[in-house]
Amino acid sequence: GDSVTQMEGPVTLSEEAFLTINCTYTATGYPSLFWYVQYPGEGLQLLLKATKADDKGSNKGFEATYRKETTSFHLEKGSVQVSDSAVYFCALSARSNDYKLSFGAGTTVTVRA
């Protein structure tokens, strides 16, 4: 079935460090790909998305590129801040099952001052 696999955490970084969270997917066809973020005590919110191959989503200094050849959608940020401490979820919606989002297990990121 359609699924996403993301790197396990937790990840702990110092401020201004480079962040990468790996996400790979399994799906038939051409899925839409998303990164959601959950700050402590809150619901999830969309961070960025890409709907076709080679698209780059970006928001708040975060970027991710839809790579069909490697079935990946890795999240990157060049210089993290303490406020980026959160849980990050990769998600997929396959064309064959439009109504649903399949989420990865989430990666907890903690940024230290």
Residues within the interface to another protein (CB under 8 A): 31-32, 34, 36, 42-46, 49, 51, 89, 91, 93-95, 97-101, 103-106
Residue among 26, 3, 38, 5 nearest 109 (CA): 38
The whole-angstrom separation of Cα 16 and Cα 70 is: 28
Q: Which is nearer to another protein, 51 or 110 (CB)?
A: 51
Q: Which is nearer to another protein, 35 or 74 (CB)?
A: 35
Q: How far is the CB of 44 from another protein (least distance, A)?
A: 5
Q: How far is the CB of 81 from another protein (least distance, A)?
A: 22
Q: How far is the CB of 8 from another protein (least distance, A)?
A: 9
Q: How many helices (H) and strands (E) does the chain have?
A: 0, 12
Cα dihedral 106/64/95/98 (nearest 10)? 50
Q: Which is nearer to another protein, 19 or 33 (CB)?
A: 33
Q: Which is nearer to another protein, 12 or 79 (CB)?
A: 12
The whole-angstrom separation of Cα 109 and Cα 8 is: 10
